[in-house]
Amino acid sequence: MKLWGGRFTKETNQLVHNFNASISFDQKFYVQDIRGSIAHVTMLAKQGILNDEEKNKIIDGLNGIRDDIESGSLVIDSTYEDIHSFVEAHLISRIGEIGKKLHTGRSRNDQVALDMKLYTRDEITILDELLRELLFELFSLMKEHTETYMPGFTHLQKAQPITLSHHMSAYFEMFRRDRDRLSDIFNRMNTCPLGAGALAGTTYPLDRDYTASLLSFTEPTRNSMDSVSDRDYLIELLSALSTIMMHLSRFSEEIIIWNTNEYRFVEIDDAYSTGSSIMPQKKNPDIAELVRGKTGRVYGALMSLLTTMKGLPLAYNKDMQEDKELTFDAIDTVKGCLSLFTGMIRTMKFNRDTMKSSAVLGFTNATDAADYLVNHGVAFRDAHGIIGHLVLTCIEKNCSIEDLSLTELQAISPVFKEDIYDAISLKTCVEKRNTIGGPGVDAMNDVIMASGKYLENYPSLS
């Protein structure tokens, strides 16, 4: 069954049908299609366009179709052009002529716009919960590791000492922003296109506000042409998903580096690692690598939809059918990556002693040594040069700054006193950085408290 064809005298060429059909992928939102149809006929009955008997028969028929699809007794097949024609055809076969009244006052254009919005809104809710779970894992690490010292990096070079808590907090902020972006998109897209018709509304006395309320939208859309041709919310979502994947990829890259034999900062659990078919000693961080790799796949969906939309005149064009597979794949990819990544970091072990040793041997306290000289009257530029010479001495001796004796330190600068060793200890270096956003325990405890309140009070999108 097609939802059109009265003015055609020939059957559609099979290749054309296959090329044009969308049921292979839009069957994904059969639940949303049926939900939208139930809301539509409920509104039609309220407005007197259908009577209560017709409404009840149609709703019972739609519920039966949904239940049969879910039980497996009704299989969605490719002989239909799309999910809309599949549902309507089966409705008519079950309840007869009354089923033909389902489509009164709507077009397939506003129907598909509604289904895609309902589906996307549902998926954003799931994505939000997955991000929340990841944030809780990061929050747990933040609380546990306020005194786990490690090197902070710039240019992948050891720079200054921080804590693992501070490092995890940086990713907490990234994924918190990701969650806020999803919330923004959810709220901005939460308008109902049903009732826009093909592009110019309808002559039936529809109550679009009522339909919107039945489907938990904040309001109906305000322009019928924009209603059926708007894909901004999908572009926004794909952009947000790309940013999530970028953050996951950055994190994955660090885990891959930290997992190397040269770093040994972390040990990934066996359940989230794989081996080699030829090298029995190997334990590969494949989950982190695949997350990093799948980032390009999500970027591709964003660029593809932007390219599809850039030349389209108002209102609906068939090109827009290309939005679905791209979006479905990107959403599924990000959901899978978030779930696996959260499980990986939940089971990952951190080698505290190795991380601390790396910070010590990497001269991450060099800046603090320079600050020590400045606090004892040396100009910063001179202090910078003295510490640079000091680091060269340590490299030649293959030792850390604190391994040098006071005599060796004073040979480079007589300003050094016994208190230099306390001034450049990792604990002191970190603890002195207690302004908001710094790695000091007090500063981190304030951030942890604020982050905990955020997780407790952030409103659910559902």
Give the CATH number of the domain where residue 276 resides: 1.20.200.10
What pLDDT sits at residue 9?
Answer: 53
Task: Place 4 in a pLDDT band, splitting at 50, 70 and 90.
Answer: very low
Same domain? For 280 and 417 the reply is no
CA 369 to chain centre: 41
Task: Place 145 in a pLDDT band, splitting at 50, 70 and 90.
Answer: very high
What's the full length of the chain, in residues? 462
Domain that holds residue 383: 359-457
Task: Place 282 in a pLDDT band, splitting at 50, 70 and 90.
Answer: confident
Q: Are 141 and 168 in contact (CB under 8 A)?
A: yes
What pLDDT sits at residue 458?
Answer: 85
Residue 444's CATH number: 1.10.40.30
Same domain? For 340 and 443 the reply is no
| Mean of per-residue pLDDT scores for the chain | 94
Residues 407-433: tens digit of each pLDDT: 999 999 999 999 999 999 999 999 999
Neighbours of 12 (CB within 10 A): 15
Same domain? For 96 and 24 the reply is yes
- By annotation, the residues acting in catalysis are 155, 276
Domain boundary among the residues 309, 336, 354 is at 354
**Domain count for the chain:** 3
447 has a pLDDT exceeding 60: yes
Same domain? For 256 and 374 the reply is no
Same domain? For 298 and 446 the reply is no
227 falls within a domain: yes
Q: Looking at this protein, which amino acid is placed at residue 404?
A: L
Domain boundary among the residues 354, 380, 412 is at 354
Same domain? For 285 and 389 the reply is no
What pLDDT sits at residue 275?
Answer: 84
Same domain? For 402 and 264 the reply is no
What DSSP letter does each residue of 266-329 carry, written as one string? EE--GGG-B--SS-TT--B-HHHHHHHHHHHHHHHHHHHHHHHHTTPPSS--GGGGGHHHHHHH
208 falls within a domain: no
Exposed / middle / buried, residue 302 (Cβ in 10 Å: 0-12, 13-18, 19+):
buried
What pLDDT sits at residue 311?
Answer: 95
Same domain? For 365 and 332 the reply is no
7 has a pLDDT exceeding 70: no
Neighbours of 211 (CB within 10 A): 25
Torsions phi, psi for 107 (to 5 deg): -115, 160
351 has a pLDDT exceeding 50: yes
Same domain? For 255 and 398 the reply is no
290 has a pLDDT exceeding 80: yes
209 falls within a domain: no
210 falls within a domain: no
Task: Place 234 in a pLDDT band, splitting at 50, 70 and 90.
Answer: very high
Same domain? For 400 and 307 the reply is no
What pLDDT sits at residue 12?
Answer: 63
Model confidence, pTM: 0.92
